A and B are shown apart, each in its own frame.
Chain A
Amino acid sequence: MDLAELQKHALELLAQLERPPCILRIQVGEISVDITWADQTRPAQVGVISTAVAEEADGEALGRYLTSPGVGVFYHAREPGAEPFVAVGSVVRPGEQIGILEAMKLMIPIEADRGGRIAEVLKGDGEPVEYGEPLFVLDVEEV
């Protein structure tokens, strides 16, 4: 994540707060966010924010998944019978194609928004998915 991107996420986060904090601390490796308000003695923990799903803020869980970027049908491979893009054990890098989303007859490549080892495949080939739905469990620590 570069500085401009970080700044954008920080501003988005601030916009969601009910009142301005006096300290906002963001760490990028092992992403963590600390927010302190003036009348508070302990910093509040806000959920982990990943680059792709910053607005989810659904707690730490989403940091472990690669999620669907849209609504449609999810495919593992370029065509029926072909090798899947990734399988359990594959190591993916950010930007690497991990599947295809078909939406209204358009085939849209799905790319990993961050790297790691695929620990589990959650959605079957040809299965309908929603926006933000977890597709793969990612093991980040192993890499």
Chain B
Amino acid sequence: MFDKVLIANRGEIAMRIARACRELGIKAVAVYSTEDRNSSVVSYADEAVHIGPGPAKRSYLNIPAIVEAARKTHSAAIHPGYGFLSEDADFAEVCEQNGLVFVGPPSDVIAQLGDKCAARRLMAGAGLPILPGSHGPVLTPDEALAVARRIGFPVIIKAATGGGGRGMRVVHDESEMAGAFKVVSGESRAVFGDSRLYVERYVASARHIEVQILCDTHGKAVHLGVRDCSVQRRHQKLLEECPAPRLPQGVVDQMGEASVVGAKAAGYVGVGTFEFLVDETCDFFFMEANCRIQVEHPVTELVFGIDLVQEQLRVAAGGRLTSEQSDVVGRGVAMECRINVEDPSRSFAPAPGRIESFVLPTGPFVRVDTHGYPGYRMPATYDSLLAKVITWAPTRDQAIARMERALGEFHATGPGICTTAEFLRRVLADEEFRSGAHDTGLVSRVLGEAP
């Protein structure tokens, strides 16, 4: 196992990784921007290195600064968390060249799966079902139109290197194509530095279900069931649960097996996620593979009793998976609510500021992952996730009741501070959600706004 691991991230996930390190007896090194100099992980970690000013480009995305920080502290490995450099193939390669273990898949695997056109082709070749769409990137609005005519409207145009709910647009008919094409390719170039797009069928009433996989460096892979992430607003996940409600075990097994086949075809190493769209008839289609630990990983941890971040570190250090697929058994239901500092009454506009009073839910079967503390100033520079409240119970109804109780105990107040906690309680109270029959349109129906 590693002696020392550098955490190239911030916020709650940096704390999550630091805690896994401590339990494994690994020294944790935090890196931080000027904006984060008073953050929890800076005081929690064994060492901390100031890598740059607030803007992420000069700190958390600054590859030379992070590599130098690893060198300065004699770290053996770098854990990238999620977001920032976690799925940056160049960063993984620089780590490899500098004798640092990148906690994640090899750089060529990240590059291949990060290109969604290439990933679609690879997975289709491995036998995974994919939605009808373009076979490679489409270069002009006319090409996109030709694909749309072949597969039928509505379609969705997506950035080949997109992610995080950005760089995509639904096109309902021919008249919308040219405009949508321009917008998505512009956004894609600006955000991801790559303007290649692809087209696939748009499924309006679908569920977003993902499979957690875990692979070691010796060719062994298992899956850890599914998470339902259908409670989304504009492709941003708000609430996740494990397992997916009303999804027959037979389908879960098929999705899991398909993901393991796909992971092996890609030469995957570490923890990863295969995202699928599941339609009303429980047919599933591969969407994309995520080469990182997910925000919503705790629901899987609670149901399967496996610490995914520790497993991630173990396999990165060359350890072998000891569990067989038949040993991986889930129990009960876990749910996660993402508490963001956003104002639902102002279209979820960020509402950061100084948190004066901060009370977290406790009690039976409640877990909270957060970097917040009373007096913490939530910066406006980074994302708005403040805390993840996770509950476990033997049944879904009990997990919902427990979550309602936990959210009722959560308080974060301060000048300008507003959170999504109350809004999430409205989602929990929704009949459609409670019945487990909801799809990705749920949040817009609760809000009464266009999806």
**Which residues of A pack against B, CB within 8 Å?**
18-19, 55-56, 70-73, 103-104, 106, 128, 130-133
Contact = CB atoms under 8 A, between A and B. Distances in A.
7 contacts: A18-B416, A19-B415, A72-B68, A103-B65, A130-B69, A131-B34, A131-B65
Interface in B406-424: 415-416
B65 A70 contact: yes
Nearest to A130: B50
A19 B62 CA distance: 32
Contact of A55 (B53, B94, B354, B415): B53
B49 interface: yes
B49 A130 contact: yes
A18 B354 contact: yes
B127 interface: no
A71 B51 contact: yes
B34 A55 contact: yes
Contacts of B415: 18-19
Count chain B CB atoms within 10 A of each CB in A18, A56, A71, A103 and give the residue with the most: A71
Contact of B68 (A18, A55, A56, A103): A103
Interface residues on B, range: 20 to 34
B191 to A, nearest CB: 23
Interface of B: 34-35, 49-54, 59, 62-69, 71-72, 94, 98, 353-354, 415-416
B64 A55 contact: no
Contacts of B72: 71, 128, 130
B45 to A, nearest CB: 14
Nearest to A133: B50
Contact of A70 (B64, B353, B354): B64
Given A71-B66, A103-B68, 18 more contacts: A18-B416, A55-B34, A55-B53, A55-B54, A70-B62, A70-B65, A71-B51, A71-B64, A71-B65, A71-B68, A71-B69, A71-B72, A72-B64, A103-B65, A128-B68, A130-B69, A131-B50, A131-B65
B386 to A, nearest CB: 18
Contacts of A72: 64-65, 68
Given A18-B415, A106-B64, A71 B49 contact: yes
A19 B354 CA distance: 12
Given A71-B49, A71-B72, A132 B65 contact: no
A133 B69 CA distance: 13
Contacts of A128: 68, 71-72
B50 A132 contact: yes
Contact of B34 (A56, A71, A104): A56
A73 to B, nearest CB: 8
B68 A132 contact: no
A55 B34 CA distance: 8
Nearest to B65: A71
A128 B29 CA distance: 15
A104 B72 CA distance: 12
A86 to B, nearest CB: 23
Contacts of A73: 68
B225 to A, nearest CB: 41
A128 B72 CA distance: 6
Nearest to A108: B64
A131 B353 contact: no
A77 B386 CA distance: 45
B52 A131 contact: yes
Contacts of B94: 104
B415 to A, nearest CB: 5
A106 B62 CA distance: 14
